């Protein structure tokens, strides 16, 4: 067993030389088999884990690795992270995490998301109608990829459709890296106010949405959380699911544009291939690129390296999902692939809450778009597309298309 020193730890976040492949450094680390150190913004050198089996070991281990951003050894993304995220349930462990996760789970089961499919299909068609009657070229990131998760999450929460533009505008601003802080605070406030008002209304007009269940069951009946906590949970759910799903929808469209054979397979039998296409796109793009992060709580060996209590860990999903020990021809996009062990939604106790919902969204978004616009094509040269490379999630800034 080795206890590698911190020497020559490349700086993190890593960037991608090729937009369609994981960062070369992550791939090289994976090929070296063992965890290696990287240097983050504060000069500390957490371990980067890149192999599929080792990431499963870390994320699946109970008690040996923690998710608490306020732990001094946690590899934070900035000095603000512990202050901003310190109270968030998914940045916590054990009793501070699981009871809240259990409150939310029922609204995001596979069955519940499947029951929403007809409504998601309908909302998708409304967006497509708007695209068809609008001008071209059009930016599909703004008008489709971001728009769909917004109207869907409003449906899940029980925010009226007419108010979805408020949610759309606010959540878009929250993830814009370059936006001044005052504008972000104002956007957060607008979102918070909208959810609080809607939640208050559900006390007298209950429905089967998440806001209604939060306020009527968990605030008023069980007194498990405060009204403010419930509003915050609603905001969190919007924040966690908005940009992630949107980026995946955009990247998936680009992949189908680049690979007409894959598009033809999808359209030949959407009911058969939309499911496997979604899993393959999740694997291929692995767009969560700077998470999951953990702090080691007890000395643990991973891939022959001793990770010590108090040391930080960053898991690299893009490299793991191209691990040739798990996926045959991992660099190839193949929507008929049956190997589904990708970890694009994470693994273990913190595995994505909204994965079933975003699966249904992707499964409806891609075939419906390409069926409606059979001549869909990029309106710019592929080289002109901009990807955000060092953000938490990988994605396209814009996707200008025409037909
Ligand atoms: C394609 C879309 C999505 C991707 C790729 C994605 C990815 C992930 C990943 C990798 C994690 C694990 C983080 C960790 O272990 O530290 C995670 C957790 C989480 N995701 Fe997603 N996500 C997506 C969509 C959504 C949606 C739609 C929602 C909400 C409706 C959501 C809510 C959450 C929450 C609340 C957690 C934390 C769960 C916990 O700690 O128990 N995600 N997601």
Q: Which atom of ligand 1 is nearest to the CA of 348?
A: 15
Distance linking the first and last C-alpha atoms of the chain: 58
- Expressed in angstroms and rounded, the spacing between residue 108 Cα and the centre of ligand 1 is 11
- Expressed in angstroms and rounded, the spacing between residue 270 Cα and the centre of ligand 1 is 25
Query: What does the buried/exposed string (b/e) look like for 49-59 if buried means 16 or more CB atoms within 10 Å of the residue's CB?
Result: bbbbebbbbbb
Omega before residue 292 within 30° of 0, cis = yes
- Expressed in angstroms and rounded, the spacing between residue 349 Cα and the centre of ligand 1 is 11
Q: Is the pLDDT of residue 7 over 60?
A: no
Q: Is 245 in the pocket of ligand 1 (CB under 6 A)?
A: yes
Which strand (E) or helix (H) includes residue 370?
A: helix 355-372
Q: Are strands 65-66 and 377-378 parallel, antiparallel or unpaired?
A: unpaired
Tell me the per-residue pLDDT of 58-81, one tens digit each, with 9 for 90 and over: 999 989 999 999 999 999 988 888
CA distance 54 to 57: 5
What average pLDDT does range 3-23 have in this prediction? 83
Q: Is the pLDDT of residue 101 over 60?
A: yes
Which strand (E) or helix (H) includes residue 395?
A: strand 395-396
Using alpha carbons only, what angle is made at residue 103 by residues 156 and 279, rounded to the nearest 5 degrees?
Answer: 60
Q: Which amino acid residue places its CA nearest to atom 14 of ligand 1?
A: 292
What average pLDDT does range 286-296 have in this prediction? 96
Q: Is 347 in the pocket of ligand 1 (CB under 6 A)?
A: no
- Expressed in angstroms and rounded, the spacing between residue 23 Cα and the centre of ligand 1 is 22
Q: Output the pLDDT for position 5.
A: 52
Q: Output the pLDDT for position 6.
A: 52
Tell me the per-residue pLDDT of 214-248, one tens digit each, with 9 for 90 and over: 999 999 999 999 999 999 999 999 988 888 999 99
- Expressed in angstroms and rounded, the spacing between residue 90 Cα and the centre of ligand 1 is 9
CA distance 171 to 144: 15
Q: Is the pLDDT of residue 319 over 60?
A: yes
Q: Output the pLDDT for position 62.
A: 84
For the domain covering 24-402, report its CATH number.
1.10.630.10
Q: Is 195 in the pocket of ligand 1 (CB under 6 A)?
A: no
Q: Which of 129, 104, 383 is nearest to 254 (CA)?
A: 383
Domain parsing of the chain, residue ranges: 24-402
Q: Which of 52, 291, 354, 392 to mutate to test the pocket of ligand 1 (most atoms within 8 A of CB)?
A: 354
Q: Which atom of ligand 1 is nearest to the CA of 349?
A: 41
pLDDT tier at 1 (50, 70, 90 boundaries)?
low
pTM for the whole structure? 0.95
* Residue 283 CB neighbours (<10 A): 25
Q: Is 358 in the pocket of ligand 1 (CB under 6 A)?
A: yes
Phi, psi of 313 (to 5 degrees): -140, 135
Q: Is 141 in the pocket of ligand 1 (CB under 6 A)?
A: no
Tell me the per-residue pLDDT of 175-222, one tens digit each, with 9 for 90 and over: 666 678 788 888 889 999 999 999 999 999 999 999 999 999 999 999
What average pLDDT does range 162-166 have in this prediction? 91
- Expressed in angstroms and rounded, the spacing between residue 351 Cα and the centre of ligand 1 is 7
Q: Is the pLDDT of residue 350 over 50?
A: yes
- Expressed in angstroms and rounded, the spacing between residue 116 Cα and the centre of ligand 1 is 19
Percentage of the chain exceeding pLDDT 70: 97
Q: Which of 61, 94, 352, 357 to mutate to test the pocket of ligand 1 (most atoms within 8 A of CB)?
A: 352
What average pLDDT does range 364-381 have in this prediction? 97
User: What integer best gives the mean pLDDT of the chain?
Assistant: 94
């Amino acid at each position: 067993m080795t206890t590698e020193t911190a020497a020559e730890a490349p700086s993190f976040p890593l960037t991608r030389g090729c937009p369609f492949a994981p960062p070369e450094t992550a791939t090289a680390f994976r090929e070296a088999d063992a965890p290696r150190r990287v240097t983050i913004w504060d000069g500390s050198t957490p371990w980067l884990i890149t192999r599929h089996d080792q990431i499963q070991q870390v994320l699946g281990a109970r008690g040996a690795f923690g998710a608490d951003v306020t732990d001094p050894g946690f590899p934070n993304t900035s000095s603000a992270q512990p202050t901003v995220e310190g109270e968030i349930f998914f940045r916590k462990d054990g009793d501070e995490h699981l009871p809240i996760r259990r409150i939310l789970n029922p609204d995001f089961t596979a069955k519940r998301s499947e029951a929403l499919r007809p409504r998601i299909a309908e909302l998708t068609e409304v967006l497509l109608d708007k695209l068809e009657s609008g001008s071209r070229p059009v930016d599909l990131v703004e008008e489709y990829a971001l728009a769909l998760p917004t109207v869907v999450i409003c449906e899940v929460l029980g925010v009226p459709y007419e108010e979805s533009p408020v949610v759309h505008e606010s959540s878009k601003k929250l993830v814009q890296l370059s936006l001044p802080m005052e504008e972000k605070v104002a956007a957060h406030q607008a979102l918070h106010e909208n959810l609080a008002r809607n939640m208050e209304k559900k006390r007298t007009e209950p429905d089967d949405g998440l806001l209604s269940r939060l306020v009527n069951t968990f605030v008023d009946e069980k007194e498990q959380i405060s009204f403010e906590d419930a509003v915050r949970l609603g905001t969190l759910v919007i924040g966690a699911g908005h940009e992630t799903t949107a980026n995946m929808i955009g990247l998936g469209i680009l992949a189908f544009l680049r690979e007409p054979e894959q598009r033809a397979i999808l359209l030949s039998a959407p009911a058969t291939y939309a499911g496997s296409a979604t899993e393959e796109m999740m694997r291929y793009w692995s767009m969560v690129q700077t998470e999951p992060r953990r702090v080691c709580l007890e000395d643990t060996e991973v891939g022959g390296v001793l990770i010590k209590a108090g040391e930080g860990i960053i898991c690299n999903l893009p490299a793991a999902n191209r691990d040739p020990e798990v996926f045959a021809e991992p660099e190839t996009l193949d929507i008929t692939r049956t190997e589904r062990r990708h970890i694009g939604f994470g693994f273990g106790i913190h595995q994505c809450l909204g994965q079933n919902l975003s699966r249904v969204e992707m499964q409806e978004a891609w075939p419906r778009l390409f069926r409606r616009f059979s001549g869909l094509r990029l309106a710019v040269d592929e080289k002109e597309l901009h990807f955000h490379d060092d953000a938490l999630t990988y994605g396209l800034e814009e996707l200008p298309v025409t037909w």
